[in-house]
Structure 1
């Protein structure tokens, strides 16, 4: 079943996202704030 494979793939992506969640979250918040400042 392809559906089962997709679930495993999504689960793997979720694990990878959780592994880098802290650093990515900090960088995204910083870059978003900078983008808002430059846009406004």
Structure 2
């Protein structure tokens, strides 16, 4: 039973990390798009 609980805890932690990583990825992508937009408008002007 203890092994099973450890396995479940690890799986839950992995899932939490995965969610956190996805959120960071989204933030980075959005920041990159803002940077690209800013650079594009600088290049155009």
Matched residue, 2:21? 6
The Cα offsets for residues 7-31 of structure 1, whole Å up to 9 and x where unpaired, read as 000000000000011317x88xxxx
* Structure 2 gaps, min length 5: 1-15
Q: Which one has a bigger Cα radius of gyration?
A: 2
Q: CA RMSD in A?
A: 2.2
Structure 1 unaligned segments of length 5 or more: list them.
28-40
Could you list the structure 1 runs, at least 4 aligned residues long, displaced by more than 4 angstroms after superposition: none
Give TM-score, length-normalised by structure 2. Answer: 0.48
Tell me the matched-pair count.
26
Match of 2:33 among 18, 24, 29: 18
